[in-house]
Structure 1
Amino acid sequence: MPEEELVELKFRLYDGSDIGPFRYSPASTVAMLKERIVAEWPKDKKIAPKGANDVKLINAGKLLENNKTVGQCRVPFGDLPKAVITMHVVVQPSVTKAKTAEKVVDETPRKNFCSCSIL
């Protein structure tokens, strides 16, 4: 594949630091990008994804779907063929984990207290 066809991407983290830039084929999927982000995640960050499902990618204000390709997600930039595209990374735990945590809180036994004052 000629080098001109590759898309150069970097990923902006919550604290303003970046992962990349890396070159990808336009046929690469968003799921593949997420796997790479998890593998390259800096070890010194307080917030870190446990897996690719915890990572959300945003490009041009749109949340990217796992089954879409880089070519489908890319926004045309006019006369900037070699521009590095910055995608924003959000770490968000999956919904099933959050619901499990809520159930644990709701299942804690509650103590009912009643008091009465007669004057």
Structure 2
Amino acid sequence: MAGGDERVELKFRIFDGTDISHSTYASSTTIATLKDRLVAEWPQDKTIIPKSVNDVKLIYSGKVLENSKTLAESRILFGDLPGGVITMHVVVQPPLARKKTDKNQEEMPKQNMCSCTIL
């Protein structure tokens, strides 16, 4: 892919099936920039609202996209879908929720495990 002039139409689907921030983006747009825009445009009537870019994960083709990469580096299809819109899924996971999950796993007592093999 040459240059940053290639553009792709994206929409972002959140947990309840609502699409937000439908627009056209350049291939040189970073994932962090997309996340920043999503946080700014997040519908305030939702039960889960991200507070920062770090609370948001973008998923495309089953892969979590990295903040430092551009759309082109993330292998987003440019021009393969004439007139098509690419949907990315948005997952909100605040750092607090992750810490609680990690803590709960550490607090669980280790159980003796046995395995049986039937021949």
TM-score bracket, shorter-length normalisation: 0.7 to 0.9
User: Paired residue for 1:53?
Assistant: 54
In the TM superposition, what is the alpha-carbon distance from 1:52 to its structure 2 partner?
Answer: 0.5
Report if the CA contact (8 A) 1:58-1:89 is conserved: yes
Q: Kindly name which structure, 1 or 2, has the bigger radius of gyration based on alpha carbons.
A: 1
Q: TM-score, normalised by structure 1?
A: 0.72
Unaligned runs of 5+ in 1: 107-119
For residue 21 of structure 1, what is the aligned residue in structure 2?
Answer: 22
Give the Cα separation in 1 of the matches to 2:64 and 2:94. 15
Q: Which one-letter code corresponds to 1:41 in the other structure?
A: W
Cα 1:5–1:60 change in 2 (3 A) is same
Using the aligned pairs only, state the percent identity. Answer: 58
Give the structure-2-normalised TM-score: 0.72
Aligned pair count reads 100
Distance 2:91 2:48 in 1: 10
Query: Over aligned residues, Cα RMSD in angstroms?
Result: 2.6
Q: Which letter maps to 2:89?
A: H
Deviation at 1:83, TM superposition (A): 1.4
* Structure with the higher helix share, 1 or 2: 1
